[in-house]
Chain A
């Protein structure tokens, strides 16, 4: 967000050359094109969703109108993303602290690369891994939970025999959003003023007390916005959820470990769209529009917080 480097260097008094006009025009045109694309995403989704929005309730899949179709999907989307965030956030903060304040400098850079590797793995691979490795590993744990703490609604059971549950999907999502939350948290932790840290240590604080009273208060808003960006990723992630759950949707339930699961908007589109025709297509695009609005809002707020923070730390600089 800092001021462009070159504005100060603009030649004054020189006459405007045609090459300059054309080039700056092309640059500005590209920039505006991006805005048009963003507006176009909303516009074309809206146009294609319109038939489903105006259609009589009994023609929409499910036969009870668009809202009844979307709400369970939205519920599944939010539930799985929140569980993913609850699992990922503590790990991300831990890893960020480990790489910023615990590991030796040289090691921490290598560790940063390793966490970035997670971000480079395609989502379809995470999905396959979730189905073939994570689900069977977790299945005994689900059986145990259903048997021993089944009175908690989340673990009511009966436990899924395959382990392919919404909780497994959430854990895969947690692994997938870990890199972005970690990278941003680490960045804000590293920005903590050195003087604050050294002052705390000089007062006799242990390393943890220094982090507790100097690093964490400074980085809190950064961690919150990093988590929101992670949440945005989890809300829109498609293939991992689609592969792990693949069509066992039962609508709204808080039961995390049974074979009948709520599914997510994105996964539902991926599973239904290739075979869909007619009004089904419009309905799926309408759910996509809902997903776009939700993720856009989450990202918008998160980025606004990040940017305000950036301005402030620059001013404190």
Chain B
């Protein structure tokens, strides 16, 4: 924390490495004289871990426990053999390699489990009825999320219309006009703003509108849009700022040399050059907020029927729909919980699609020489 100059890292590296082999001890066992495990040893350890895990699962142990036991046994075996053959330094190196690899595999497990569960449970109700019907008058089975999909679409669209102009103009200010203390503070506070909890953004929007409209308990689609904008603007600013920074200064200078005013240079030269990056940044920002539940829960609420007017009362949105289908399922509960999973699956599909679109746009329209 208190480190402000580079030297500390260098001495640590220089003094540290030799210190690992104190002079008094026997020579390090890394030379050609000592043994070395064959190249296939790590592969064999992985194979052993998988075999052991599969065997344990087949005999009725829970898969999670089986995987842990398999990984632990294989690691201990590899490190033990390595210690006997190659010496303790090599063994420590192998132990860390094992741990790091296990950490990675361990982090993949929730992702795989989550995606598999959502697809498996979500597909049960992903049908025509789900996509074209609302919940109006539906008790028990059947019904759909058409109203929630339209609500999500409208609210996110308005949030985008609010966030993009403000975000892009702020980024232009920071890159093209800024440079003083104000710009530095804004950059910093935008970073801090990315950490505002989504529920606080929702509370801010509802507090603001309650006060302005003087109407306790007010719920409107546009309040949700404002809440989402608070979350979206910093993301847009950050990504557009990065894109404007990589526009070569020569382009601007060439434009000025031709007598083009600064603002026209920005509009006609800088923005088109960065267009692909800006578009992909905005798409990512949309993907980030479209799945937000908490701010919409407190600002927009839920309805059973279709409401297309964001200025008039409650609207349904996909994440809040999933939340209420789960927390207030009614009878039979199973039907509502299936609907919750299908809404979750739809959300994941939308978010993934937006991410893919962003990546494709960025790659297809990338300016030449920018990377």
Contact partner of A178 among B107, B114, B344, CB < 8 A?
B107
B166 contacts A33, C-beta separation under 8 Å: yes
Q: Is A151 interfacial (CB 8 A cutoff)? A: no
A56-64, A94-102, A154-162, A251-259: which lies at the B interface? A94-102
Q: Which of A240-255 contact B (CB under 8 A)?
A: 242-243, 246
Known A45-B207, A270-B294, A274-B297; contact A303-B192, beta-carbon cutoff 8 A:
yes
Q: Is B89 interfacial (CB 8 A cutoff)? A: yes
A117 to B247, CA, bound (A): 28
The residue in chain B whose Cβ has the minimal distance to the Cβ of A268 is B199
Q: Is B40 interfacial (CB 8 A cutoff)? A: no
The residue in chain A whose Cβ has the minimal distance to the Cβ of B247 is A5
In this complex, which of A27, A203, A291 has the most chain B Cβ atoms within 10 angstroms of its Cβ? A27
A1 contacts B187, C-beta separation under 8 Å: yes
A129 contacts B114, C-beta separation under 8 Å: yes
Across-interface contacts of A183 in B (CB, < 8 A): none
Q: Is A65 interfacial (CB 8 A cutoff)? A: no
B208 contacts A44, C-beta separation under 8 Å: yes
A35 contacts B189, C-beta separation under 8 Å: yes
A98 contacts B173, C-beta separation under 8 Å: no
The residue in chain B whose Cβ has the minimal distance to the Cβ of A117 is B111
Known A9-B252, A45-B204, A270-B297; contact A212-B10, beta-carbon cutoff 8 A:
no
Q: Is A7 interfacial (CB 8 A cutoff)? A: yes
Q: Which of B1-26 contact A (CB under 8 A)?
A: 1, 3-6, 8-10, 12-14, 16-18, 20-21
The residue in chain A whose Cβ has the minimal distance to the Cβ of B112 is A114
B111 contacts A8, C-beta separation under 8 Å: no
B230 contacts A288, C-beta separation under 8 Å: no
> How far apart are A295's CB and chain B's nearest CB, in angstroms?
6
A208 contacts B9, C-beta separation under 8 Å: no
Across-interface contacts of B17 in A (CB, < 8 A): 199-200, 203-205, 209-210, 213-214
Known A38-B189, A236-B200; contact A217-B8, beta-carbon cutoff 8 A:
yes
Across-interface contacts of A200 in B (CB, < 8 A): 13, 16-17
Contact partner of B211 among A47, A232, A300, CB < 8 A?
A47
Contact partner of A281 among B108, B211, B216, B292, CB < 8 A?
B216
Known A48-B207, A213-B17, A236-B196; contact A124-B291, beta-carbon cutoff 8 A:
yes
B99 contacts A94, C-beta separation under 8 Å: yes
The residue in chain A whose Cβ has the minimal distance to the Cβ of B201 is A41
Contact flags B251-272 to A (C-beta < 8 A → 1, else 0): 0110010000111101100000
A90 to B216, CA, bound (A): 46
Q: Which of B78-101 contact A (CB under 8 A)?
A: 89-90, 92-93, 95-97, 99-101
A131 to B340, CA, bound (A): 13
The residue in chain A whose Cβ has the minimal distance to the Cβ of B99 is A94
Contact partner of B249 among A6, A33, A128, A199, CB < 8 A?
A6
Contact flags A84-97 to B (C-beta < 8 A → 1, else 0): 00000011011101
Q: Is B330 interfacial (CB 8 A cutoff)? A: no
Q: Which of A54-88 contact B (CB under 8 A)?
A: none
The residue in chain A whose Cβ has the minimal distance to the Cβ of B113 is A133
A129 to B234, CA, bound (A): 29
A140 to B61, CA, bound (A): 12
B4 contacts A308, C-beta separation under 8 Å: yes
Number of A-B contacts (CB under 8 A): 352
Contact partner of B6 among A11, A114, A300, A312, CB < 8 A?
A312
> How far apart are B105's CB and chain A's nearest CB, in angstroms?
9
B173 contacts A270, C-beta separation under 8 Å: no
Q: Is A53 interfacial (CB 8 A cutoff)? A: no
A121 contacts B9, C-beta separation under 8 Å: no
Across-interface contacts of B176 in A (CB, < 8 A): 4-6, 27
Across-interface contacts of B148 in A (CB, < 8 A): none
A137 to B64, CA, bound (A): 8
Across-interface contacts of A266 in B (CB, < 8 A): 197, 199, 294
Q: Which of A14-40 contact B (CB under 8 A)?
A: 14, 17, 19-20, 22-24, 26-31, 33-35, 37-38, 40
A44 contacts B211, C-beta separation under 8 Å: yes
A237 to B113, CA, bound (A): 21
Contact partner of A98 among B9, B20, B104, CB < 8 A?
B104
Across-interface contacts of B220 in A (CB, < 8 A): none
A7 contacts B6, C-beta separation under 8 Å: no
B347 contacts A125, C-beta separation under 8 Å: yes
A30 to B173, CA, bound (A): 8
B47-55, B305-313, B321-329: which lies at the A interface? B321-329
The residue in chain A whose Cβ has the minimal distance to the Cβ of B16 is A213
In this complex, which of B1, B207, B340, B341 has the most chain A Cβ atoms within 10 angstroms of its Cβ? B207
Q: Which of B170-212 contact A (CB under 8 A)?
A: 170, 172-179, 182-201, 203-204, 207-208, 210-211
Contact partner of B351 among A45, A120, A218, CB < 8 A?
A120
> How far apart are B294's CB and chain A's nearest CB, in angstroms?
4
Q: A133-B114, A205-B17, A296-B196 are in contact. List 15 more A-B contacts (CB 8 A).
A: A30-B167, A40-B204, A95-B107, A118-B111, A122-B348, A124-B344, A207-B97, A214-B12, A217-B12, A235-B197, A236-B198, A236-B199, A269-B199, A273-B298, A315-B6
Give me 14 A-to-B residue pairs in the complex whose CB atoms sit less than 8 angstroms apart, sorted by A's number.
A4-B178, A10-B262, A31-B174, A34-B193, A41-B196, A90-B103, A94-B100, A115-B107, A209-B17, A209-B20, A209-B93, A243-B326, A270-B199, A291-B199
Shortest beta-carbon contacts, A-B, top 8: A236-B197, A122-B291, A94-B103, A213-B16, A23-B263, A299-B195, A30-B169, A27-B173
